[in-house]
Amino acid sequence: MIRVRIPGGSYPVIIEAGLLRHAGAALKKLNPRRICVITNDQVWSYWGAALEKGLAGMHAAVIRVPDGEQHKNLATVETIAEELVKARADRGALLVSLGGGVIGDIAGFVAAIYLRGVDYVHIPTTLLAQVDSAVGGKTGVNLRAGKNLIGSFHHPKMVLVDPQVLGTLPERELRAGLFEAIKCGVIRDKALFDFLEKKAGDVLSGNMPALTRVIHDCLALKARVVAADEKEHGVRRILNFGHTVGHALEAETAYRYFLHGEAVAWGMRAATRIAEDRGMIRGADAERVHALILRYGPVPPLVQLRPDDLAARLLTDKKTRQGVVHFVLPQKIGAVKVVPDVPTEAVERAIAGLSAS
């Protein structure tokens, strides 16, 4: 179990293969008056029966929303809120998200604003959600103008991670989540990086103990970073390694070409190239980063970005302060530095170098 410390308290993250089938025992500790599960058809068809069994007789209303990032919007938030009213969910209700990052972000946001805030628990079912989005308290939805523009910090009361649910996850989604795990290794956890190198075969084939270890290490790291910087003013920014270029690539391809983790994979390689150009990282370490990312591929080929488009995207990055792009650059395996003065030409050069290789 990992405890995530937040201002005024903490919450547990329980990681255990088969946990879904005992979820009720954990949830009971929160004394919920009413449980409302928020999920989608896809996830419910695979794992609904296991969760219902796990609730061991506790009644739960189940609210299903359509699958997909395009439904992570205020219309879905309103639909869920109306359903909660119908299900007579009051202030004592407990929302439970069962799904990937999309469901988690929506459900967390509904929990933040329904009746001015109710408790919720995440049961993440994608690797990305298990290693990343389920911990940290960032919730929200998209506007037509951009991703995650509406949201709130609202922490879950508990996070229940069952690695077994990854058994039904498409392989491409699994690999996309593993790039976030590689990110954790590069920024702060050399032992995890070494493990991902040595045990790549086990991890990629979905070996349960190997995946459980990876999830545990990523969440332990995220818990430490979030505790130190709840609202992303300081050290939490290191979690954005690979995300500056990654977000630009996702946005320029209208979020349809790359999965998030895949765009981050290219972003991490670009950041590593920039660090190499600046002489910030030894060649051998940089090579290990590139090689590990390639080992966990394939990733869709890099797209060509027009320099102007890239520059414009970088300037809208949320780490940009007063027009200066902040880049998270690796110094060695397990250490990164936030660098405030990376010119867009250096980014272009790094990306061009990657396309050519």
Ligand X SMILES: NC(=O)c1ccc[n+]([C@@H]2O[C@H](COP(=O)([O-])OP(=O)(O)OC[C@H]3O[C@@H](n4cnc5c(N)ncnc54)[C@H](O)[C@@H]3O)[C@@H](O)[C@H]2O)c1
Q: Which residues bind ligand X (CB under 6 A)?
A: 40, 42-43, 46, 67, 69, 72, 99-103, 105, 125-126, 128-129, 132-133, 136, 138, 147-148, 165, 168-169, 173, 260
Return the SS3 of 130. helix
CB of 86 to ligand X, least distance (A): 24
Closest CB to ligand X among 66 and 343? 66
- C-beta of 103 vs 263, nearer to ligand X: 103
Contacts of 322 (CB under 8 A, 6+ apart): none
Of 275 and 328, nearer to ligand X (C-beta) is 328
Of the two residues 103 and 112, which places its CB atom closer to ligand X in the complex? Answer: 103
Q: Is the dihedral of CA 52, 58, 59, 61 positive or negative?
A: negative
Query: Reduced to 3 states, what is the DSSP secondary structure of residue 330?
Result: strand
Single out the residue of 351, 244, 357, 347 nearest to residue 303, CA to CA: 351
CB-wise, 94 or 141, nearer to ligand X?
A: 141
For 51-76, the DSSP string reads HHHHTTT--EEEEEE--SGGG-SHHH
Contact 3, 147 (CB under 8 A): no
In sequence order, what are the beta bridge partners of 338?
328
Which single residue is written with the structure tokens 């991890």?
Answer: 203
For strands 60-65 and 9-15, give the pairing: unpaired
Whole-number minimum distance, CB 235 to ligand X, in Å?
15
Decide whether 67 or 277 has the Cβ nearer to ligand X: 67
Nearest distance from C-beta of residue 198 to ligand X, angstroms: 26
Least distance to ligand X, CB of residue 245, Å: 16
264 CB neighbour count, 10 Å cutoff: 30
Rounded CA separation 44/35 (Å): 16
Q: Classify residue 29 as exposed, middle or buried by CB count within 10 Å of its CB (0-12, 13-18, 19+).
A: exposed
User: Of the two residues 169 and 182, which places its CB atom closer to ligand X in the complex?
Assistant: 169
| Structure-token pair, residue 46 | 């695979």
CB of 104 to ligand X, least distance (A): 7
Q: Which is nearer to ligand X, 176 or 275 (CB)?
A: 176
Closest residue to bound ligand X by CB: 101
Tokens of 188: 């702060």
Asked if omega into 330 is within 30° of 0 (cis), the reply is: no
**CB 148 to ligand X: min, Å:** 6
From CA 99, how far away is CA 205, in angstroms rounded? Answer: 21
DSSP H helical ranges for 281-342: 283-295, 307-316
> Minimum distance between the CB of residue 96 and ligand X, rounded to whole angstroms?
14
Cβ at position 66, least distance to ligand X in Å: 10
